[in-house]
Amino acid sequence: MTSSPPTALITGVSGQDGMYLARRLMAEGWRVVGTVRPGLSSIARMGPYLTGVQVVDHDLLDTTGFGDLLSRFSPRAVYNLAAFSAVGASWSDPELVARTNLVAVAEMLETLLRHRDKNSSDVRFFQASSAEVFGSRVQGALDEETPHRPRTPYAVAKSAAHHLVISYREHHDLFACNGILFNHESPFRGHQFVAGRIARAAATAACGGRAPVALGDLDVERDWGAAVDHVEAMRLSLAHDRPGDYVIATGTTHTLRDMLDAAFASVGRDDAEDHVEMMPHLWSATQADSLCGDPGRARRELGWSATTSFEDLIATMVAVDVRRITTGVAESESYLS
């Protein structure tokens, strides 16, 4: 008799991370159930990439609904990737941010415990934490032991959820992991984010147009990795023989100026800054000038390291946007290759 494949439940499956993770898990033989917020438009946009995923509507704040998902699908692993993700916008509704990024996580952990007690079945849990938890007054490479000094409602909620995961792991012996995600990009992240805006500006210029990109500070440094690499670290963290917390980063930084130059160079242009509109008000003192991760633990314990270079990542983003502009096709599975 052939056994049924294990099931993974991914919240926020229509985001770039959810999509890449779903595809990676299915390639490993998993059945994937992915949740999207009811009425979310991104599911239509990301549909071409989610073939084979069973997509279900689920509001992250619906505790009863999460319990029903556990009972209905009996997942072996849950990856919580859904969140209020706009750091700057978190000031506009801190209560919603706290409920979505903290309270919902607490209720998921409690629901997982009740499910374990009722079914004598452990479900492994991955929480998408964030480098934003470290705050703005940081120096050097940041690792799992670096103190948290969150400076935004988003970061405060993510930091508290991070520590809840550790508490439930230690107090209840729950297999729960935090992935401290540093910046990671792909051609499938929205153009509302800075890397996407830069890629689109370069692609538009390559196609003979002009789409100036508004930036607040060209010298800000971030540890930019590829989403396709980062989700592999997520998968490995729940496949490991013991739970833990892991910085998921490349270990190197680049400035926004580097990103601009790389994007325009990938289409044979050297006039990147001619396509920038400097708007200093877009930069906030609550943001760090530089964030660099130390992925040493992930390398030692999971055997993981980033494999995509910064230049290749940016060039791929620009190339896909060129194809979008020239074909008029916004999304196609062919863009994955």
Please write the tens of the pLDDT for every residue from 107-123. Answer: 999 999 999 999 988 99
Structure confidence at residue 71 (pLDDT): 96
Structure confidence at residue 286 (pLDDT): 62
> Do 114 and 33 fall within a single domain?
yes
Structure confidence at residue 283 (pLDDT): 63
Structure confidence at residue 288 (pLDDT): 83
Which residues are marked as active site? 130, 132, 154
End-to-end CA gap in the chain:
36
In this predicted model, what pLDDT tens digit does every residue of 51-67 receive, in sequence order? 999 999 999 999 999 99
Question: Which domain covers residue 197, as residue numbers?
Answer: 186-222+252-291+308-336
Give the DSSP per-residue string, 53-107: -EEEE--TT-HHHHHHHHHHH--SEEEE------TGGGGG-HHHHHIIIIIHHHH
Using alpha carbons only, what angle is made at residue 280 by residues 290 and 249, rounded to the nearest 5 degrees?
20
Mean pLDDT on 10-15: 96
> Do 21 and 162 fall within a single domain?
yes
> Do 260 and 276 fall within a single domain?
yes
Instruction: Please report whether residue 55 resides in a domain.
Output: yes
Using alpha carbons only, what angle is made at residue 3 by residues 34 and 9, rounded to the nearest 5 degrees?
15
Mean pLDDT on 233-257: 98
pLDDT confidence bin for 237, thresholds 50/70/90: very high
Give the mean pLDDT of the chain.
Answer: 95
Structure confidence at residue 287 (pLDDT): 75
Structure confidence at residue 86 (pLDDT): 86
Q: Are 243 and 169 in contact (CB under 8 A)?
A: yes
* Residue 1 in this model has a pLDDT that exceeds 60: no
> Do 153 and 271 fall within a single domain?
no
Query: For the ranges 30-34, 79-83, 176-180, 277-281, which has the lowest average pLDDT?
Result: 277-281
User: What is the 3 state secondary structure string of 307-330?
Assistant: CCCHHHHHHHHHHHHHHHHHHCCC
State the DSSP code for 300: I
Structure confidence at residue 39 (pLDDT): 85
- CA distances (Å), origin 237, targets 111, 119, 299: 21, 24, 11
Please tell me the distance from the alpha carbon of residue 260 to that of residue 275, in angstroms, as a whole number. 9
Please tell me the distance from the alpha carbon of residue 135 to that of residue 142, in angstroms, as a whole number. 11
Structure confidence at residue 35 (pLDDT): 97
The number of beta carbons lying within 10 Å of the beta carbon of residue 195 is 22
Please tell me the distance from the alpha carbon of residue 116 to that of residue 126, in angstroms, as a whole number. 16
Looking at the structure of the chain, the number of domains it has is: 2
Residue 80's contacts (CB-CB under 8 Å, 6 or more residues apart) are: 11, 12, 105, 108, 125, 126, 127, 128
Mean pLDDT on 163-170: 98
How many CA atoms lie less than 13 Å away from 181 in the CB half-sphere?
25
Structure confidence at residue 280 (pLDDT): 77
Q: In the chain, what are the helix, strand and coil shares in percent, each to the nearest 5?
A: 45, 15, 35
Q: Are 234 and 298 in contact (CB under 8 A)?
A: no
Instruction: Please report whether residue 296 resides in a domain.
Output: no
> Do 31 and 107 fall within a single domain?
yes
> Do 160 and 199 fall within a single domain?
no
What are the phi and psi torsion angles at 138 (to 5°)? -130, 155
Structure confidence at residue 3 (pLDDT): 78
> Do 35 and 172 fall within a single domain?
yes
Structure confidence at residue 281 (pLDDT): 65
> Do 177 and 284 fall within a single domain?
no
Of residues 281, 295, 194, 312, the one with CA closest to residue 251: 295
Please tell me the distance from the alpha carbon of residue 229 to that of residue 278, in angstroms, as a whole number. 31
Largest CA distance in the chain: 64
- The CATH number of residue 32's host domain is 3.40.50.720
In this predicted model, what pLDDT tens digit does every residue of 13-44 receive, in sequence order? 999 999 999 999 999 999 999 999 998 777 88
In this predicted model, what pLDDT tens digit does every residue of 258-300 receive, in sequence order? 999 999 999 999 999 999 998 876 666 667 889 999 999 999 9
In this predicted model, what pLDDT tens digit does every residue of 192-228 receive, in sequence order? 899 999 999 999 999 999 989 999 889 999 999 999 9
> Do 52 and 138 fall within a single domain?
yes
> Counting runs of H as helices and runs of E as strands, what totals does the chain give?
11, 15
Structure confidence at residue 310 (pLDDT): 98
> Do 156 and 265 fall within a single domain?
no
H-helix or E-strand containing 277? strand 276-278
Strand-strand pairing, 124-130 and 77-80: parallel
Between 89 and 5, the more confident residue is 5
